[in-house]
Chains A and B, each alone.
Chain A
Amino acid sequence: TQLLEQSPQFLSIQEGENLTVYCNSSSVFSSLQWYRQEPGEGPVLLVTVVTGGEVKKLKRLTFQFGDARKDSSLHITAAQPGDTGLYLCAGAPGGGNKLTFGTGTQLKVEL
């Protein structure tokens, strides 16, 4: 059983469209992180959400942590080809630094 389920698994959209990626769990996390991974590279941290209900914005990316700290979402406004990549949520069950990663969402943004 995967601890962190992401949806959708794959997403192919046109430039300028909006999209939302979801990360869900039955477990409570003290924090959740979102990463983006491009081909041939390691994951790069985008944001960490800590407080239930927290909303963080990073340019066109909006991250939200659920009130119960069991889920999170990533919303991208006006997607661009440079947003293409694998988006991963991750958390450390019970706290600490040993991350459990979500199932991943492969995003492709086309011109």
Chain B
Amino acid sequence: SAVISQKPSRDICQRGTSLTIQCQVDSQVTMMFWYRQQPGQSLTLIATANQGSEATYESGFVIDKFPISRPNLTFSTLTVSNMSPEDSSIYLCSVVQGSTGNTIYFGEGSWLTVV
């Protein structure tokens, strides 16, 4: 199984600032995704992190607000830009491992509170 490490695990951020979340996997994975989970709600897919190219964003999410990098097969970052209290959420990294792409793992999440 893949072991996923996210940093920071928790942070309190000032309104208007930006924060970058890191996702490190202990093995090469075929796909990496970023999800958002707002307080008391389910998970919503933000984007697919593509190695060496621009991420693929879901409806309602844009690159200017959530720039994503994926320089290799084991690492990705998500930046939450110009934060407002509405961005207070848990941000989760998810990976797909295996040639069949059927096994999906989640990191423990990064809990951001914007004040």
Contacts and interface: CB of A to CB of B under 8 A. Distances in A.
Contacts of B43: 43, 88, 90, 99, 101
Interface in A47-90: 48, 88, 90
B45 A98 contact: yes
A44 interface: yes
A41 B43 CA distance: 13
Contact of A103 (B31, B42, B92): B42
Main secondary structure of the interface of B (DSSP, over half): strand
A40 B44 CA distance: 17
A45 interface: yes
B101 interface: yes
B33 A98 contact: yes
B41 interface: yes
Contacts of B96: 97
Interface string B71-112: 000000000000000000000101010000111111111010
Nearest to A44: B106
Interface string A28-41: 00000100000011
Q: Interface range on chain B: under 10, 10 to 19, 20 to 34, or 35 or more?
A: 20 to 34
A40 B48 CA distance: 23
A36 to B, nearest CB: 11
Contacts of A41: 108-109
Interface residues of A, number: 18
Contacts of B48: 98
A99 B45 contact: yes
A5 B94 CA distance: 22
B45 A102 contact: no
Nearest to B6: A42
Nearest to B95: A97
A104 B41 contact: yes
A97 B31 contact: yes
A42 B33 contact: no
B63 to A, nearest CB: 17
Given A48-B102, A97-B101, A98-B33, A42 B109 contact: yes
Interface of A: 33, 40-45, 48, 88, 90, 97-104
14 contacts: A33-B104, A40-B108, A41-B109, A42-B4, A42-B108, A45-B104, A90-B43, A97-B104, A98-B48, A99-B33, A99-B43, A100-B45, A102-B42, A104-B42
